Chains A and B, each alone.
Chain A
Amino acid sequence: NAGVTQTPKFQVLKTGQSMTLQCAQDMNHNSMYWYRQDPGMGLRLIYYSASEGTTDKGEVPNGYNVSRLNKREFSLRLESAAPSQTSVYFCASSVLQGEGNYGYTFGSGTRLTVV
């Protein structure tokens, strides 16, 4: 099925450990995004990639890095996890420009707990 695939779905890390969240889309979208969701806060943008080869910081980028590996894949890395990074992470993709809802599609989320 076409869509956005995130791995893993669940992860528990110890403080200071590193990990990479993977995201891939098969809809030929130009733009990809990483959001985090915390209780009572809605979704906040961490990083995004408007097109292959470009990445930009969003609202809450501290403690994260990203890599747009190719048009399909956009990974999020936590170099040294902190308890404040306990959250649910969503990857999303969309077309860059166009009509209507831009085909915005979300992955199923990664629930990360840092202890």
Chain B
Amino acid sequence: AQKITQTQPGMFVQEKEAVTLDCTYDTSDPSYGLFWYKQPSSGEMIFLIYQGSYDQQNATEGRYSLNFQKARKSANLVISASQLGDSAMYFCAMREGNRGSTLGRLYFGRGTQLTVWP
């Protein structure tokens, strides 16, 4: 079973509008962390935001916020006031707690290609 599911292969948003990128996850570990990365056409992986499973509040970093709904196992990324430079591939990823063989690794979704148009 997929650990991370991103159901939107592509999303379009007009400049200055907000957009939500969906991510659901699957784990039985009570301790885990959720990440969002941006990958522009140049190829590098840019860390955007992190949410720990025990964090009481939703994470925010500038124009990025993570809508964390633990019971639904969802961790959607919200980008407010979209800019042309936000056009990129976005990946959701999860790190499970400190358990033996999976220690440290990230599980990635397949990504969502976001296009911001003027």
Q: Name the interface residues of A64-105: CB closer than 8 Å to any CB of B.
A: 88, 90, 92, 94, 96-97, 99-102, 104-105
Residues of B within 8 A of A105 (CB): 47
Q: Which of B45, B104, B110 contacts A106, CB < 8 Å?
A: B45
Determine if B104 and A42 form an interchain contact, defined as CB atoms under 8 angstroms apart: no
Interface string of B17-45 (1 = CB under 8 A from A): 00000000000000001010000000111
User: Taking the nearest CB of chain B, how far is it from the CB of A88, in angstroms?
Assistant: 7
Interface string of A35-71 (1 = CB under 8 A from B): 1000011111100101000001010000000000000
How far does the alpha carbon of A97 sit from the alpha carbon of B99 in the complex, in Å? 11
User: Taking the nearest CB of chain A, how far is it from the CB of B61, in angstroms?
Assistant: 11
Interface string of A7-20 (1 = CB under 8 A from B): 00000000000000
Residues of A within 8 A of B105 (CB): 33, 45, 48, 58
- Known pairs A94-B104, A96-B103; list 16 more (Cβ under 8 Å): A31-B103, A33-B104, A42-B110, A45-B105, A50-B103, A58-B105, A88-B43, A92-B45, A101-B33, A101-B47, A102-B95, A102-B104, A104-B35, A106-B44, A108-B44, A111-B43
30 contacts between A and B (CB under 8 A): A31-B104, A33-B105, A33-B106, A40-B9, A40-B110, A40-B111, A41-B110, A42-B4, A42-B108, A43-B45, A43-B108, A45-B105, A48-B104, A50-B104, A58-B105, A92-B45, A97-B98, A101-B35, A101-B47, A102-B33, A102-B104, A104-B35, A104-B106, A105-B47, A106-B44, A106-B45, A108-B43, A108-B44, A109-B44, A109-B45
Determine if B44 and A43 form an interchain contact, defined as CB atoms under 8 angstroms apart: no
How far does the alpha carbon of A44 sit from the alpha carbon of B108 in the complex, in Å? 7
Residues in B lying within 8 Å of A, measured CB to CB = 4, 9, 33, 35, 43-45, 47, 50, 52, 91, 93, 95, 98, 101, 103-106, 108-111
Residues of A within 8 A of B109 (CB): 42
Count of residues in A whose CB is under 8 Å from the partner chain: 29
Residues of B within 8 A of A101 (CB): 33, 35, 47, 50
Residues of A within 8 A of B93 (CB): 43
